[in-house]
């Protein structure tokens, strides 16, 4: 039970640290192409989800 509580506390601490970090003015250079591919439309979410599931299935097989 202690391991579970410790893991939960660490996860909460990391999440809090990630939320409180200042957002950089300029996104990372590698994120530019990904931002162009993903416009934020609902269809993009479905397409990326299916691409991920397909990749995961290909890795499993």
25 three-class SS: coil
Taking only the tens place, the pLDDT of each residue in 16-27 is 998 888 877 777
Residue identified by tokens 């996104």 is 27
pLDDT category of residue 56 using cuts at 50, 70 and 90:
very high
Where do the domains of the chain lie?
Answer: 2-60
The three-point CA angle 39-43-48 to 5° equals: 80
Whole-number average pLDDT of the chain: 88
The three-point CA angle 48-51-55 to 5° equals: 140
55, pLDDT greater than 90: yes
The three-point CA angle 12-14-17 to 5° equals: 110
Q: Exposed, middle or buried by CB within 10 Å (0-12, 13-18, 19+), for 1?
A: exposed
């Amino acid at each position: 039970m202690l391991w579970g509580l410790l893991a939960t506390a660490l996860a909460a601490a990391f999440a809090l640290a990630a939320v409180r970090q200042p957002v950089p003015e300029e996104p990372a250079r590698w994120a530019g192409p990904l931002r162009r591919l993903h416009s934020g439309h609902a269809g993009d979410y479905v397409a990326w989800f299916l691409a991920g599931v397909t990749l995961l299935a290909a890795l499993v097989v």
